Amino acid sequence: MNERLAINGGTPVRTQPFGQSHDFGDEDIAAVTEVIRSGNIGKGPQVAQFEREFAARHGVKHAISVTSGTAAMHVCIGAINPDPGDEIIVSPWTAGGSFIGALLHNCVPVFADIDDTFTLDPKDVEAKTTPRTRAIIAVHLFGNPCNMDALREIAHRHQLFLIEDCCQAHFAEYQGQTVGTLGDINGFSFGGKHLSAGMGGIVLTNDEGLWGRGVLFADAALPRANGPYEGLPYANYFLAPNYKINDLIAAVLLTQLKKVDGYIANKIRAAQQIIEGLADLEEITPQRVRQGDRHTYWVLGFTIDTNRLNCSAGEFAEAVSREGVPLGGPYIGSGKEGPLYRNPFLAEPDCYGRSRFPFDYEREKPIDYRLAECPYGEALMCRGVNLSMLPSFTDADIADIVQAIRKVAHHYR
Protein backbone atom coordinates (compact mmCIF):
# COMPACT_ATOMS: atom_id res chain seq x y z
CA MET A 1 0.00 0.00 0.00
CA ASN A 2 1.54 3.33 -1.00
CA GLU A 3 -1.32 5.73 -1.71
CA ARG A 4 -0.66 9.30 -2.77
CA LEU A 5 -0.60 11.52 0.30
CA ALA A 6 -3.08 14.37 0.64
CA ILE A 7 -0.08 16.67 1.02
CA ASN A 8 0.93 15.61 -2.54
CA GLY A 9 -2.56 16.05 -3.98
CA GLY A 10 -4.03 12.65 -3.01
CA THR A 11 -7.40 12.08 -1.34
CA PRO A 12 -7.30 12.73 2.43
CA VAL A 13 -8.29 9.88 4.74
CA ARG A 14 -10.82 12.15 6.37
CA THR A 15 -12.58 15.43 5.70
CA GLN A 16 -15.04 15.42 8.65
CA PRO A 17 -14.02 17.47 11.69
CA PHE A 18 -13.65 15.61 14.99
CA GLY A 19 -16.04 16.09 17.96
CA GLN A 20 -15.80 18.28 21.04
CA SER A 21 -13.10 18.24 23.71
CA HIS A 22 -15.69 18.58 26.50
CA ASP A 23 -19.38 17.93 26.91
CA PHE A 24 -20.72 21.31 28.06
CA GLY A 25 -24.49 21.25 28.29
CA ASP A 26 -27.67 21.91 30.23
CA GLU A 27 -26.17 21.05 33.63
CA ASP A 28 -23.41 23.62 33.15
CA ILE A 29 -25.87 26.26 31.98
CA ALA A 30 -28.17 25.56 34.95
CA ALA A 31 -25.28 25.73 37.42
CA VAL A 32 -24.00 29.04 36.06
CA THR A 33 -27.53 30.46 35.87
CA GLU A 34 -28.10 29.59 39.51
CA VAL A 35 -24.95 31.44 40.54
CA ILE A 36 -25.97 34.53 38.55
CA ARG A 37 -29.50 34.43 40.01
CA SER A 38 -28.00 34.25 43.51
CA GLY A 39 -26.78 37.80 42.97
CA ASN A 40 -23.29 36.90 44.17
CA ILE A 41 -20.84 35.82 41.52
CA GLY A 42 -17.66 36.39 43.55
CA LYS A 43 -15.70 33.76 45.45
CA GLY A 44 -18.32 32.01 47.57
CA PRO A 45 -19.97 28.67 48.34
CA GLN A 46 -19.31 27.10 44.91
CA VAL A 47 -15.58 27.68 45.22
CA ALA A 48 -15.57 26.24 48.74
CA GLN A 49 -17.57 23.20 47.61
CA PHE A 50 -15.34 22.58 44.60
CA GLU A 51 -12.24 22.76 46.80
CA ARG A 52 -13.80 20.25 49.22
CA GLU A 53 -14.87 17.85 46.46
CA PHE A 54 -11.58 17.99 44.53
CA ALA A 55 -9.56 17.48 47.73
CA ALA A 56 -11.85 14.61 48.79
CA ARG A 57 -11.52 12.91 45.38
CA HIS A 58 -7.77 12.89 46.03
CA GLY A 59 -7.91 12.06 49.73
CA VAL A 60 -5.92 15.24 50.41
CA LYS A 61 -6.63 17.66 53.26
CA HIS A 62 -6.37 21.03 51.54
CA ALA A 63 -7.13 22.62 48.18
CA ILE A 64 -6.57 26.20 47.00
CA SER A 65 -8.40 27.13 43.79
CA VAL A 66 -6.71 29.64 41.48
CA THR A 67 -7.06 31.22 38.03
CA SER A 68 -4.78 28.93 35.98
CA GLY A 69 -2.24 26.14 36.05
CA THR A 70 0.51 28.77 35.85
CA ALA A 71 -1.00 30.40 38.95
CA ALA A 72 -1.24 27.01 40.69
CA MET A 73 2.46 26.33 40.08
CA HIS A 74 3.26 29.87 41.28
CA VAL A 75 1.31 29.28 44.49
CA CYS A 76 3.32 26.06 45.06
CA ILE A 77 6.50 28.17 44.89
CA GLY A 78 5.03 31.02 46.93
CA ALA A 79 4.09 28.51 49.62
CA ILE A 80 7.61 27.09 49.91
CA ASN A 81 9.00 30.65 49.77
CA PRO A 82 12.48 30.12 48.31
CA ASP A 83 15.17 32.82 48.23
CA PRO A 84 16.23 34.69 45.06
CA GLY A 85 18.65 32.63 42.97
CA ASP A 86 17.53 29.33 44.48
CA GLU A 87 17.48 26.52 41.95
CA ILE A 88 14.41 24.52 40.99
CA ILE A 89 14.95 21.34 38.95
CA VAL A 90 12.46 20.76 36.14
CA SER A 91 12.19 19.08 32.73
CA PRO A 92 12.59 21.39 29.72
CA TRP A 93 9.79 19.50 27.93
CA THR A 94 6.88 21.17 29.60
CA ALA A 95 4.77 24.30 29.28
CA GLY A 96 6.50 27.48 30.46
CA GLY A 97 3.70 27.62 33.06
CA SER A 98 5.46 24.89 35.03
CA PHE A 99 8.07 27.38 36.25
CA ILE A 100 7.00 30.90 35.24
CA GLY A 101 5.94 31.27 38.88
CA ALA A 102 9.37 30.18 40.05
CA LEU A 103 10.96 32.80 37.80
CA LEU A 104 8.58 35.45 39.13
CA HIS A 105 9.77 34.40 42.56
CA ASN A 106 13.33 35.08 41.33
CA CYS A 107 14.34 31.43 41.32
CA VAL A 108 16.24 29.87 38.44
CA PRO A 109 15.23 26.74 36.57
CA VAL A 110 17.83 24.00 36.30
CA PHE A 111 16.92 21.58 33.54
CA ALA A 112 17.31 17.85 34.04
CA ASP A 113 17.06 15.28 31.27
CA ILE A 114 14.17 12.90 30.72
CA ASP A 115 13.86 9.23 29.80
CA ASP A 116 11.56 7.40 27.40
CA THR A 117 8.57 8.09 29.68
CA PHE A 118 9.10 11.76 28.58
CA THR A 119 9.44 12.64 32.29
CA LEU A 120 12.39 13.45 34.57
CA ASP A 121 15.24 10.96 34.68
CA PRO A 122 16.02 10.65 38.41
CA LYS A 123 19.71 10.01 37.68
CA ASP A 124 20.05 13.39 36.00
CA VAL A 125 18.00 15.08 38.73
CA GLU A 126 20.53 13.75 41.24
CA ALA A 127 23.40 14.98 39.04
CA LYS A 128 21.87 18.46 38.75
CA THR A 129 21.31 18.88 42.50
CA THR A 130 23.52 21.54 44.14
CA PRO A 131 23.59 23.23 47.56
CA ARG A 132 21.31 25.92 46.05
CA THR A 133 18.58 23.48 44.93
CA ARG A 134 15.33 24.02 46.82
CA ALA A 135 12.77 21.98 44.92
CA ILE A 136 12.06 19.50 42.14
CA ILE A 137 9.05 20.02 39.88
CA ALA A 138 7.81 16.64 38.62
CA VAL A 139 5.81 17.22 35.43
CA HIS A 140 3.59 14.26 34.54
CA LEU A 141 3.89 14.97 30.82
CA PHE A 142 0.84 14.28 28.64
CA GLY A 143 -0.73 12.44 31.61
CA ASN A 144 2.12 9.98 32.26
CA PRO A 145 3.32 9.87 35.88
CA CYS A 146 6.95 10.58 36.79
CA ASN A 147 9.04 8.08 38.73
CA MET A 148 7.79 9.44 42.04
CA ASP A 149 9.54 6.94 44.37
CA ALA A 150 12.95 7.83 42.96
CA LEU A 151 12.23 11.59 42.97
CA ARG A 152 10.90 11.47 46.52
CA GLU A 153 13.99 9.62 47.68
CA ILE A 154 16.25 12.30 46.13
CA ALA A 155 14.11 15.10 47.56
CA HIS A 156 14.20 13.52 51.00
CA ARG A 157 17.95 12.93 50.98
CA HIS A 158 18.75 16.51 49.89
CA GLN A 159 15.92 18.10 51.92
CA LEU A 160 14.18 19.49 48.87
CA PHE A 161 10.52 20.15 48.28
CA LEU A 162 8.88 17.85 45.74
CA ILE A 163 6.24 19.65 43.71
CA GLU A 164 4.00 17.81 41.24
CA ASP A 165 2.82 19.52 38.08
CA CYS A 166 -0.41 17.61 37.38
CA CYS A 167 -1.70 20.14 34.84
CA GLN A 168 -1.88 17.53 32.06
CA ALA A 169 -2.41 14.49 34.26
CA HIS A 170 -5.72 14.68 36.11
CA PHE A 171 -6.42 11.38 37.88
CA ALA A 172 -3.34 9.68 36.50
CA GLU A 173 -1.88 7.13 38.91
CA TYR A 174 1.65 6.36 39.93
CA GLN A 175 1.69 2.73 41.15
CA GLY A 176 -1.93 2.97 42.29
CA GLN A 177 -1.66 6.42 43.88
CA THR A 178 -3.37 9.37 42.24
CA VAL A 179 -0.99 12.11 41.13
CA GLY A 180 -1.35 15.28 43.14
CA THR A 181 -1.12 13.28 46.38
CA LEU A 182 2.57 12.39 46.16
CA GLY A 183 4.46 15.67 46.31
CA ASP A 184 4.61 18.20 49.14
CA ILE A 185 2.39 20.62 47.22
CA ASN A 186 0.96 20.09 43.77
CA GLY A 187 -0.68 22.09 40.99
CA PHE A 188 -3.37 21.46 38.36
CA SER A 189 -4.68 23.44 35.37
CA PHE A 190 -8.31 23.60 34.31
CA GLY A 191 -7.58 25.51 31.12
CA GLY A 192 -8.72 23.02 28.48
CA LYS A 193 -7.37 19.96 30.30
CA HIS A 194 -9.40 16.82 31.21
CA LEU A 195 -11.36 18.82 33.78
CA SER A 196 -11.87 22.27 32.32
CA ALA A 197 -13.77 25.48 32.79
CA GLY A 198 -11.73 27.12 30.04
CA MET A 199 -9.51 28.54 32.80
CA GLY A 200 -8.68 27.89 36.43
CA GLY A 201 -6.37 25.72 38.45
CA ILE A 202 -5.97 24.23 41.91
CA VAL A 203 -3.27 23.41 44.44
CA LEU A 204 -3.41 20.33 46.69
CA THR A 205 -1.41 19.72 49.85
CA ASN A 206 -1.57 17.85 53.15
CA ASP A 207 0.95 20.18 54.77
CA GLU A 208 -0.68 22.69 57.11
CA GLY A 209 2.14 25.21 56.84
CA LEU A 210 2.28 25.12 53.04
CA TRP A 211 -1.51 25.38 52.89
CA GLY A 212 -1.57 28.40 55.19
CA ARG A 213 1.04 30.29 53.23
CA GLY A 214 -0.44 29.12 49.92
CA VAL A 215 -3.92 30.42 50.80
CA LEU A 216 -2.44 33.81 51.61
CA PHE A 217 -0.20 33.77 48.54
CA ALA A 218 -3.17 33.21 46.20
CA ASP A 219 -5.00 36.18 47.69
CA ALA A 220 -2.55 39.10 48.00
CA ALA A 221 -1.53 37.81 51.45
CA LEU A 222 -4.75 39.14 52.97
CA PRO A 223 -6.18 37.17 55.90
CA ARG A 224 -9.88 36.40 55.29
CA ALA A 225 -12.77 35.02 57.27
CA ASN A 226 -12.87 31.17 57.22
CA GLY A 227 -9.21 31.08 56.17
CA PRO A 228 -6.22 29.83 58.15
CA TYR A 229 -5.37 33.37 59.32
CA GLU A 230 -8.88 34.49 60.26
CA GLY A 231 -8.72 37.11 62.98
CA LEU A 232 -5.39 38.68 61.96
CA PRO A 233 -5.67 42.44 61.33
CA TYR A 234 -6.47 43.18 57.66
CA ALA A 235 -3.18 43.89 55.85
CA ASN A 236 -1.02 42.59 52.99
CA TYR A 237 1.42 40.43 54.92
CA PHE A 238 3.91 39.73 52.10
CA LEU A 239 4.28 40.20 48.35
CA ALA A 240 1.69 38.04 46.60
CA PRO A 241 -0.63 38.17 43.57
CA ASN A 242 -4.42 37.79 43.46
CA TYR A 243 -5.27 34.46 41.85
CA LYS A 244 -8.78 33.93 43.22
CA ILE A 245 -11.51 32.39 41.04
CA ASN A 246 -15.22 33.07 41.36
CA ASP A 247 -18.35 30.98 41.77
CA LEU A 248 -19.12 31.01 38.03
CA ILE A 249 -15.93 29.11 37.26
CA ALA A 250 -16.36 26.83 40.27
CA ALA A 251 -19.96 26.01 39.26
CA VAL A 252 -18.73 24.74 35.88
CA LEU A 253 -15.88 22.81 37.52
CA LEU A 254 -18.39 21.12 39.84
CA THR A 255 -20.64 19.95 36.98
CA GLN A 256 -17.63 18.92 34.90
CA LEU A 257 -16.17 16.99 37.85
CA LYS A 258 -19.13 14.61 37.46
CA LYS A 259 -18.15 13.98 33.83
CA VAL A 260 -14.38 13.82 34.03
CA ASP A 261 -14.14 10.09 34.78
CA GLY A 262 -16.07 9.40 31.57
CA TYR A 263 -13.79 11.68 29.56
CA ILE A 264 -10.70 9.98 30.92
CA ALA A 265 -12.04 6.44 30.41
CA ASN A 266 -12.76 7.26 26.75
CA LYS A 267 -9.34 8.81 26.21
CA ILE A 268 -7.59 5.79 27.70
CA ARG A 269 -9.68 3.40 25.58
CA ALA A 270 -8.99 5.43 22.43
CA ALA A 271 -5.26 5.69 23.18
CA GLN A 272 -4.99 1.94 23.70
CA GLN A 273 -6.81 1.24 20.42
CA ILE A 274 -4.59 3.65 18.49
CA ILE A 275 -1.44 2.18 20.03
CA GLU A 276 -2.65 -1.32 19.13
CA GLY A 277 -3.52 -0.22 15.60
CA LEU A 278 0.06 0.97 15.07
CA ALA A 279 1.82 -1.76 17.07
CA ASP A 280 3.25 -3.55 14.02
CA LEU A 281 4.91 -0.36 12.68
CA GLU A 282 8.45 -0.59 13.98
CA GLU A 283 9.14 3.03 13.05
CA ILE A 284 6.62 4.38 15.58
CA THR A 285 7.05 4.00 19.35
CA PRO A 286 4.57 5.23 21.97
CA GLN A 287 5.65 7.14 25.10
CA ARG A 288 6.66 4.45 27.61
CA VAL A 289 4.26 3.95 30.50
CA ARG A 290 5.71 2.29 33.58
CA GLN A 291 4.02 -0.99 34.48
CA GLY A 292 1.49 -0.33 37.25
CA ASP A 293 0.96 3.31 36.27
CA ARG A 294 -2.17 4.86 34.79
CA HIS A 295 -1.56 7.34 31.98
CA THR A 296 -4.67 9.50 31.43
CA TYR A 297 -3.72 10.68 27.92
CA TRP A 298 -4.33 14.39 27.71
CA VAL A 299 -2.03 13.83 24.75
CA LEU A 300 -0.96 10.60 23.05
CA GLY A 301 2.74 10.92 22.25
CA PHE A 302 4.91 8.85 19.91
CA THR A 303 8.44 9.09 18.63
CA ILE A 304 9.18 8.18 15.04
CA ASP A 305 12.35 6.54 13.79
CA THR A 306 13.68 9.17 11.42
CA ASN A 307 16.44 6.82 10.23
CA ARG A 308 13.86 4.41 8.87
CA LEU A 309 11.36 7.04 7.77
CA ASN A 310 12.56 9.46 5.20
CA CYS A 311 11.17 12.58 6.89
CA SER A 312 11.42 14.72 10.02
CA ALA A 313 8.84 14.50 12.83
CA GLY A 314 7.51 17.90 11.74
CA GLU A 315 7.04 16.69 8.16
CA PHE A 316 5.39 13.50 9.36
CA ALA A 317 2.97 15.45 11.56
CA GLU A 318 2.15 17.86 8.76
CA ALA A 319 1.44 15.01 6.33
CA VAL A 320 -0.88 13.27 8.83
CA SER A 321 -2.65 16.56 9.57
CA ARG A 322 -3.27 17.04 5.84
CA GLU A 323 -4.95 13.62 5.87
CA GLY A 324 -7.54 15.22 8.17
CA VAL A 325 -6.09 14.03 11.50
CA PRO A 326 -4.49 16.96 13.38
CA LEU A 327 -1.12 15.68 14.61
CA GLY A 328 1.42 17.94 16.32
CA GLY A 329 5.18 17.87 15.72
CA PRO A 330 7.82 17.93 18.47
CA TYR A 331 6.37 19.13 21.78
CA ILE A 332 7.92 22.45 22.90
CA GLY A 333 9.74 22.54 19.58
CA SER A 334 13.14 21.25 18.61
CA GLY A 335 16.32 22.69 17.18
CA LYS A 336 16.43 26.48 17.42
CA GLU A 337 13.04 26.93 19.12
CA GLY A 338 12.97 24.19 21.69
CA PRO A 339 13.18 22.80 24.31
CA LEU A 340 12.35 25.51 26.82
CA TYR A 341 15.94 26.52 27.52
CA ARG A 342 16.11 27.75 23.92
CA ASN A 343 13.03 29.95 24.29
CA PRO A 344 13.96 33.67 24.22
CA PHE A 345 12.85 34.44 27.78
CA LEU A 346 15.63 32.16 29.04
CA ALA A 347 18.11 32.06 26.17
CA GLU A 348 18.42 35.85 25.69
CA PRO A 349 17.39 36.17 28.63
CA ASP A 350 14.36 38.46 28.82
CA CYS A 351 12.90 38.45 32.33
CA TYR A 352 13.59 41.70 34.19
CA GLY A 353 14.31 44.62 31.88
CA ARG A 354 17.80 44.66 30.46
CA SER A 355 19.28 42.86 33.46
CA ARG A 356 20.31 39.21 33.62
CA PHE A 357 18.48 38.88 36.94
CA PRO A 358 17.91 36.37 38.51
CA PHE A 359 20.43 34.33 36.52
CA ASP A 360 23.36 36.37 37.84
CA TYR A 361 22.16 36.76 41.42
CA GLU A 362 24.98 35.88 43.84
CA ARG A 363 26.79 33.92 41.14
CA GLU A 364 30.29 34.46 39.81
CA LYS A 365 29.10 33.63 36.30
CA PRO A 366 25.50 34.19 35.20
CA ILE A 367 23.65 31.07 34.08
CA ASP A 368 23.66 30.92 30.27
CA TYR A 369 20.75 28.79 29.07
CA ARG A 370 22.21 28.68 25.56
CA LEU A 371 24.71 26.21 27.04
CA ALA A 372 22.03 24.00 28.64
CA GLU A 373 21.93 20.42 27.40
CA CYS A 374 19.68 17.43 27.90
CA PRO A 375 21.12 15.09 25.27
CA TYR A 376 18.84 12.08 25.70
CA GLY A 377 15.68 14.17 25.64
CA GLU A 378 16.86 16.27 22.70
CA ALA A 379 17.55 13.17 20.60
CA LEU A 380 14.20 11.68 21.63
CA MET A 381 11.83 14.63 21.61
CA CYS A 382 12.94 16.05 18.24
CA ARG A 383 11.40 12.84 16.86
CA GLY A 384 8.13 13.38 18.75
CA VAL A 385 4.65 13.60 17.25
CA ASN A 386 1.56 13.99 19.37
CA LEU A 387 -2.19 13.78 19.19
CA SER A 388 -4.55 15.73 21.47
CA MET A 389 -7.00 13.19 22.81
CA LEU A 390 -10.74 13.83 22.68
CA PRO A 391 -13.26 12.04 24.88
CA SER A 392 -15.60 12.14 21.90
CA PHE A 393 -13.42 9.86 19.73
CA THR A 394 -15.63 7.12 18.23
CA ASP A 395 -14.45 3.79 16.85
CA ALA A 396 -14.76 5.29 13.35
CA ASP A 397 -12.59 8.28 14.41
CA ILE A 398 -9.99 5.92 15.84
CA ALA A 399 -9.97 3.89 12.62
CA ASP A 400 -9.34 7.10 10.62
CA ILE A 401 -6.53 8.17 12.95
CA VAL A 402 -4.83 4.79 12.61
CA GLN A 403 -5.33 4.75 8.85
CA ALA A 404 -3.92 8.26 8.38
CA ILE A 405 -0.80 7.54 10.44
CA ARG A 406 -0.26 4.18 8.69
CA LYS A 407 -0.69 5.76 5.26
CA VAL A 408 1.94 8.41 6.00
CA ALA A 409 4.34 5.89 7.58
CA HIS A 410 4.10 3.62 4.51
CA HIS A 411 4.76 6.55 2.23
CA TYR A 412 7.90 7.70 4.05
CA ARG A 413 9.39 4.20 4.39
Ligand X SMILES: Cc1ncc(COP(=O)(O)O)c(C=O)c1O
- Rounded CA gap, 154 and 392, in Å? 40
CA-based radius of gyration for the chain: 22
Q: Determine, following the binding rule CB under 6 A, whether residue 92 of this chain makes contact with ligand X.
A: no
Q: Toward ligand X, which CB reaches closer, 73 or 381?
A: 73
Q: How far apart are the first and last CA of the chain?
A: 11
70 is an interface residue for ligand X by CB under 6 A: yes
Which part of the chain contacts ligand X (CB under 6 A), choosing from 92-100, 107-115, 252-260, 324-332?
92-100
Q: Which is nearer to ligand X, 167 or 409 (by Cβ)?
A: 167
Q: In this complex, which beta carbon is closest to ligand X, that of residue 68 or of residue 256?
A: 68
Q: Indicate whether 69 belongs to the interface with ligand X (CB under 6 A).
A: yes
Judged by CB under 6 A, does residue 343 bind ligand X?
no
Number of Cα atoms under 13 Å in the Cβ half of residue 377: 28
Residue of 12, 44, 191, 286 that binds ligand X (CB under 6 A): 191
Q: Which is nearer to ligand X, 68 or 312 (CB)?
A: 68
Q: Total number of residues binding ligand X (CB under 6 A)?
A: 15
Q: Give the whole-angstrom CA distance, residue 174 versus residue 146.
A: 7
When binding is defined by CB under 6 A, the residue of 65, 68, 144, 303 that contacts ligand X is: 68
- Choosing from 85, 101, 183, 201, the residue that interacts with ligand X (CB under 6 A) is 201
Non-local CB neighbours of 374 within 8 Å, separated by 6+ positions? 91, 92, 111, 112, 113, 114, 124, 339
Q: Which residue in 168, 205, 296, 386 binds ligand X (CB under 6 A)?
A: 168
Do the beta carbons of residue 234 and residue 222 sit within 8 Å? yes
CA 375 to chain centre: 22
Binding mask 5-44 for ligand X (x = CB under 6 A): ----------------------------------------
Tell me phi and psi for residue 194, to 5 degrees. -50, -55
Is 167 among the residues that bind ligand X (CB under 6 A)? Answer: yes
> Given candidates 65, 189, 196, 334, which one binds ligand X under the rule CB under 6 A?
189
133-139 and 161-165 strand pairing: parallel
Tell me which of 95, 102, 135, 210 binds ligand X, using CB under 6 A: 95
H-state helical runs in 223-372: 247-257, 260-278, 313-322, 344-347
Contact between 97 and ligand X by CB under 6 A: the answer reads yes
Q: How far apart are CA 334 and CA 384, in angstroms?
A: 9
Cβ(199)–Cβ(67) below 8 Å: yes
Of 191 and 366, CB closest to ligand X: 191
Q: In the complex, what is the shortest distance from the CB of residue 31 to ligand X, in angstroms, rounded to a whole number?
A: 21
Which residues are at the interface with ligand X (CB under 6 A)? 68-70, 73, 94-95, 97-98, 139, 165, 167-168, 189, 191, 201
